[in-house]
Amino acid sequence: MAGGQERILRRRIKSVQATKKITKAMELIAASRIVKAMGRINDARPYFVSMSSVIEQFASSAGLPKSKYLGDPKVGARGLLVVTSDRGLCGSFNSAPLRFVERKLLSAKGAGEQYRILCVGKKGINFFGYRNIDLDLALLGVSERPTYEHARTVAKAVLDLFDSGAVTSVDIVTTRFYSAGSQKMEVIPLLPIDPATLVASGGGDSSLSFEVEPAPEEIIDPLMALFIEEKIFAYLLEASASEYAYKQRAMKSATENAEELVKKYTRIMNRARQDAITTEIMEIVGGAEALRSSDSEALDVD
Amino acid sequence: MAPSFQVHLLTPERPLYEGQGTSVSLRSGEGDIAFLANHAPFIGTVDICVVKIERDGEPTLYAAVHGGFVSVARNEVRVLADVAELANEIDLERAKAALAKAEAAGSHTNDSVLEASLRRAHVRISVSSTLAHSTYVA
């Protein structure tokens, strides 16, 4: 019956509208969280800038002493640190880095290269778990609000792996946050540190001769380790902000799709109702017609 | 009036203090050290200690710093702390509880982690009580 179809459509519209309300709310929440996450990035910036300039001053005045963390990557197993989120509904935020790593692992199999994977975020951990890929680090609960403690844990795992000689280089696969409108998945080398990048900006002043206490050879390793820690922290913060940006976009398009659906269903529903009414009128008219003709027939007989 | 210079007290999560100071004293890897204006360029480690920042015409700042680096160049002192708290941010009760816990556990072991937590608690408590003292005087 046509009336039945109308009822079904009415119910569906209601459910789409309810979903739309949820996605709209999630969009707004994500938008407000981007602002907060951006604030955290800004708060962390002075430290990072200062640290970079300290290292630069150090490098340009004393010359960098030898460190296990400095130099060109040697041949050997490589480490990949993958940053994903704990929750879904954020578009390609997780799928892009995970697909990248999967492709990398596939091609490595052919080339006989070895990879060790470190993973942050539930989505990535599940992804690798499902594929039976062993993880050297599986850290949850970071993406919502990364703290320095998280960065320290991640950095420790990365440095331990590097120190033990299990890997000779570590790259990070993460999403960089450039602005609220622009984020990009990138692969950035973490270890070993290329000494050229430390003095790249040329802001160091070789005329200053620093007193270094304790000796430069003693200070360099902890300083480099701290630098890595700080870098990881910066990337985690950016990834968190990016996640919200992706989420906002995903929820925005979901809201728009819901609107589209409501429009479409309403149109179909209206047509169905119209059809039902038309049919009813036709039936009534037909019925009346039939009655009248049968009446007149009866009269004729009379 | 002592000449002042730019002081940055920074933690990875946020800057704690950025402003002028006339003297910064702290404990570096080699011992206690104080920086005045025009100090020679210096880079060193910072121990778990109380960092004292004296300011011109303003109350002296105390912060509990739990390790990091310090650099001095061109009349700017930067303290890059792993973890740091200003005196008014410290939860004295919590620090005291941590101290009691560390002392109880530390009586028969000498573990460096434990020693560090003991020192952190001591530093927090001393910073916090310095604040109580100084506000009382003021």
Question: A90 catalytic, yes or no?
Answer: yes
ipTM: 0.75
Q: Is B40 exposed, middle or buried (0-12, 13-18, 19+ CB in 10 A)?
A: exposed
Tell the residue number behind the tokens 């050297």, with chain if given: A136
Chain length of chain A: 302
**What residue has token string 């400095």?**
A70
Domain ranges, ordered by start, for chain B: 5-87, 90-132
The reported pTM is 0.83
Residue-wise pLDDT tens digits, A215-259: 778 888 888 888 899 999 999 999 999 999 999 999 999 999 999
pLDDT at B75 over 50: yes
What span, in angstroms and rounded, lies between the C-alpha atoms of B5 and B78?
Answer: 11
Distance (Å) from the C-alpha of residue A47 to the closest C-alpha of chain B?
6
Q: How confident is the model at residue B136 (pLDDT cuts 50, 70, 90)?
A: very low
**C-alpha–C-alpha distance, residues B125 and B133, integer Å:** 12
Residues 6+ away with beta carbon under 8 Å from A154: A81, A118, A120, A137, A139, A142, A232, A236
Q: pLDDT tens digit string along A142-180?
A: 888 899 889 999 999 999 999 998 889 999 999 999 988
Least CB–CB distance from B8: residue in A50, A214, A233: A50
Contact (Cβ atoms closer than 8 angstroms) between residue A118 and residue A80: yes
CB within 8 Å of A120: residues ≥ 6 apart: A81, A82, A83, A84, A137, A139, A142, A143, A150, A154, A236
Q: What is the CATH number of domain B5-87?
A: 2.60.15.10
Question: Domains along chain A?
Answer: 29-248 (3.40.1380.10)
E strand or H helix at A130, and its extent? Answer: helix A122-130
Query: Which of A90, A157, A161, A190 is an active site residue?
Result: A90
A229 contacts on B by Cβ (under 8 Å): 12
- Any CB–CB contact under 8 A between A51 and chain B? yes
DSSP state of A74: P
A208 at interface of B, judged by CB pairs closer than 8 A: yes
CA distance A287 to A275: 18
Question: Alpha-carbon Rg of chain A, whole angstroms?
Answer: 32
Q: Which runs of E-coded beta strand occur in chain A?
A: 78-83, 115-120, 135-139, 169-179, 182-191, 211-213
B31 beta partners? B28
Q: Over the stretch A172-186, which tens digit does the pLDDT of each residue have?
A: 999 999 988 889 899
- Angstroms from B80 CA to nearest CA on chain A: 7
